[in-house]
Structure 1
Amino acid sequence: MNSFQLVDEFKDIETERGVIAAIATRPDLYWELLDFLPAEAFIAESLAWQNLAQAIETEKPVAASVTGLTEWKPAADPKAAAQHLADLYQRRLLAGLQENLAAALYGSRPAPELLGLLDEEVARVQSAVRETHAGKLQWAGDLIGNVLAEAENRQLQRQETGNAISGVATGLKRVDELLNGLGTGLYILAGAPGAGKTTLSLQIAQHAASTGTPVVYVTYENSPSNLVLKALCARAKIPASQVERGFGNTQALRWAALELQPIFDKLAIIEGNSKLTVGQVRGKALQAQARHKAGRCLVVFDYLQRAAHTAGYDQLRYNVSAMAGELRDLANRLNGPVLAISSQNRSGGDYGKGGGSATLDSLKESGDLEYSADAVMFLRMSEKRQIPPPARAVDIVLAKNRFGDVGMVPLVFRPDLGDLREEAVR
């Protein structure tokens, strides 16, 4: 196989030493330049940088922390030198991308697979670059311009489209009015078993895809094929149980498949397992955004408690708390919404009775999710409305909403058809 070595061309040992020497001379520069200097910016003198950083952060003598420091000449313009090192780091990332792609070009993989590899490599580089901005000190005064520009853009968008919803629309009008769609943040959808959580999540995913937003649906409960079958049956208005027993109208399913094909092209499904990490999902989401040239992506986790077993703690509660924090970070990194299905504790979920509480403390055994989430929604059987079976009267209760008011929206659930719709306003 052909070998390509481009990464090593983008390093500058003298500048690395110059920046380290300048900071050692004036330790206060460390805090000023830290935003420009990810640890990966130092490739030749990485150990010296680590020792210097540790000495400054622990307020220990700097001179003794770096071997050979007295022989290094401080950079004349430390800020410009630091920015140069950061630029070289990003170029090394791009060079690594080019190396991997060039090596693959001379391999046996088909060209379509190489395009997929390119998407993955670009997503990896974008993710790495974004990580360098995490934790950066941002002064409120410096953000004013961007905030005002975003407000003006939203106003212009509303005037041009007539649509006042700026987030990813769920397809449920009154829910969107309460939430302003799904914006950047973590959204929790909770309920008892059989309440319709997967049905609603799959509907939201399809609606988002139909409006041009790519979706990455991570499933731990249903297989990817089963989710596709559910979607086809819902569109064809055929019970999935009939199809599984061989009594389904296959012609109706084919028509449904033709209608849903443009939507399915923007809906990617990942079968979750114990080895899947949030970082890997982030990479796949960035890949989906790059493929569809989209500014945001909806990520769905079905469901949170199963995904949380990978967090590494002995108790599920702590795993879920850690996972919720990772998902919120994921939303911020992607600048888009993450929708996570959650179970409730047995008393709150009213297991076996068909009811269910819509109070935040019913999530207590699920790791204090009410603190991590930007919005919490519950699906529960309606206590007042009566609907002839097989339909069920279901309410979606918005119990927490950082973006606006809380409230309740009445729905009609057809579990046999896998369909949840808003009740018609009388």
Structure 2
Amino acid sequence: MPRSGTLGNPQPYTSFGVFAGLPFWGGGLTLLAAAPGIGKTSWLLRMLFEAASAHIPSVIGCYEHTPEELRYRLFLQTEAKLNGPHARVSQEKVETALVRASEAVLLSLNAQEDTVRALEDTLIHEYAFPVMGAALVAVDYLNRVPVIGLTGMMQEDGRSGEAAASLREMARRRGWAIIAAAALKSEHFNEGDDLSALLGDERVPYEADRILIIRRSGEVRGCGCASLEVITLKDRTGPARRWAMQFWGKRFYPALEVEMHKYDSSHA
């Protein structure tokens, strides 16, 4: 049956929260693309922390890192949030701050078994995520999501389009906001700001509602910090834009523009 509606003032992209500098709305799929080591996973973790602190059901499903590794990064990120990229901070203060996000879910996923449908079932039946409602789901990363084809498991270079479609369908079916890290083609690591830079077939950029690319805008400093530029490749919710961030490498912390004053150049 054809879909129909009435004229009025629909708000399909109404945000239920801004986490780590990005607004999120129910039913949307965002892709976050970058070269290895730029800070994709770390940015996803910061989003998770802030969403969980706001009592939004939140999860990161990771095909690359264990929950223990993710917890370690969250600890260091909390140090950075409290006292910048270099200064020491007491463990007691860090632990107290981490309690705010204690309901965040850290999942270690298997690239041979944990399909999008399996992830959806796990979140609803084991972690009581809303059957329909606001939630933040981060997937790290798109190109490792297993996809079963007619002849069995699809190869990584051909599965990403189908994985993106499945994530988008899940977002719309449940009203969740989903963000997935995505890979870039190697020749675009240091350049490229168009949709052809994404690794995978043509369905990858087509399925996403929003696509961001992160790249370094300078050399990595001796302290492990680096300047970043975030570029909007596609956004169904509003105009494209560019903005600056920093990555405080030793603490795995993606710092927003309003936090850059905490960087102490004496440690560079």
Q: With structure 1 as the length reference, what TM-score do the two structures score? A: 0.53
Match of 2:98 in 1: 260
Residue 186 of structure 1 deviates from its aligned partner by: 1.0
**Counterpart for residue 22 of structure 1:** none
1:269 to 106, 112, 137: 106
Asked if 1 retains the 8 angstrom alpha-carbon contact of 2:32 and 2:212, the reply is yes
Instruction: Choose which of 236, 244, 250 in structure 2 pairs with 1:416.
Output: 250
Give the Cα separation in 2 of the matches to 1:370 and 1:379.
16
State the SS of the aligned residue for 1:195.
coil
Distance 1:321 1:397 in 2: 21
Alignment of 1:113-128 (within 5 A): none
Equivalent position of 1:169 in the other structure: 18
Match of 1:103 in 2: none
Deviation at 1:320, TM superposition (A): 1.1
Cα distance in 2 for residues equivalent to 1:168 and 1:256:
24
Deviation at 1:216, TM superposition (A): 1.8
Q: 1:337 aligns with which of 173, 177, 191?
A: 177
Which of these residues, 372, 390, 397, is aligned with residue 207 of structure 2?
Answer: 372
Q: Equivalents in 1 of 2:67, 2:78: separation in Å?
A: 17
One-letter amino acid of the counterpart of residue 286, structure 1? I
Deviations 1:352-395 (A, max 9, x none): xxx343321011x3222111111000110116x99785321101
Q: Residues 79-120 of structure 1, C-alpha deviation per residue, up to 9 Å, x if partnerless?
A: xxxxxxxxxxxxxxxxxxxxxxxxxxxxxxxxxxxxxxxxxx
Q: Does residue 396 of structure 1 match 2:226?
A: no
- The residue number in structure 1 matching 2:73 is 230
Distance between the aligned counterparts of 1:184 and 1:205, measured in 2?
17
Kindly tell me: are residues 217 and 317 of structure 1, through their superposed partners in 2, closer, same or farther at Cα, counting changes over 3 Å?
same
SS in structure 1 at match of 2:15: coil
State the superposition RMSD in angstroms: 3.1
Summarize the alignment of residues 186-205 of structure 1 with structure 2, pairs less than 5 Å apart. 186-205=29-48
Give the superposition deviation at 1:166: 2.2
Q: Is the Cα contact below 8 Å between 1:199 and 1:419 reproduced in 2?
A: yes
Which residue of structure 2 lines up, in the alignment, with residue 322 of structure 1? 162
- Name the % identity: 22
Amino acid at match of 1:348: H
Displacement after TM superposition at 1:182 (Å) = 4.0
Q: Which amino acid is 1:220 matched to?
A: Y
Cα separation, 2, equivalents of 1:182 and 1:291: 16
CA distance in 1, matches of 2:15, 2:155: 38
Higher share in strand = 2
Higher relative contact order (CA 8 A, sep 6+): 2
Q: What is the TM-score when the length of structure 2 is the normalising length?
A: 0.81
Paired positions, count: 250
